[in-house]
Amino acid sequence: MENIINQRQEKIIEEFSVLDGDQEMTIFYIMELGQKLPDMDEEEKTEQNLVKGCQSKVWLMAHLTDGKVTFNTDSNTAITKGLASLLVRVFNNCTPDEILQAEIYFPERIGMNRYIGTQRSNGFGAMIKQFKLFAIALKTKLNV
């Protein structure tokens, strides 16, 4: 059986294929995805929750419920919030092990770097790293 993270990535690839590489529509769609993400409470937007390595401000929190990780994220820019929302969609409600074993391939398959440039690509990599760091921390918590 294909794992849930890969199923979610395939769904994202399918959605983006409809846009047929149209840069303006793709960026608009990414921003639209971000708008669907609930805003974080202002008191959660702390230095401690900031993702290091992003040019924009990105806040990320993770909670463990019944052995699965739920993520909450926000950003001060629409496109970055949209990018973060894609990662929440891929990783949300998965176990720490599923997150740690996941190979994130959808950005390459949708040609994301064509739309977001080098700076945001580096920031996106930092976001993926932070999601995985949370998974490590929460896995450790599970095994205590």
Q: What percent of the chain has pLDDT over 70?
A: 98
DSSP reduced 3-state for 74: strand
The answer for residues whose C-beta is within 8 angstroms of residue 28's C-beta and 6 or more apart is none
Kindly report, residue by residue over 40-98, the tens digit of the pLDDT: 999 999 999 999 988 899 999 999 999 999 999 999 999 999 999 999 999 999 999 99
Fold of 4-40+48-142: Sufe protein. Chain: A (3.90.1010)
Residue 39 φ then ψ, to 5°: -70, 145
Which of these, 24, 19, 3, 50, lies nearest to 115 by C-alpha position? 24
* Whole-prediction pTM: 0.94
CA 127 to chain centre: 7
Give the C-alpha separation, 77 to 57, whole Å. 8
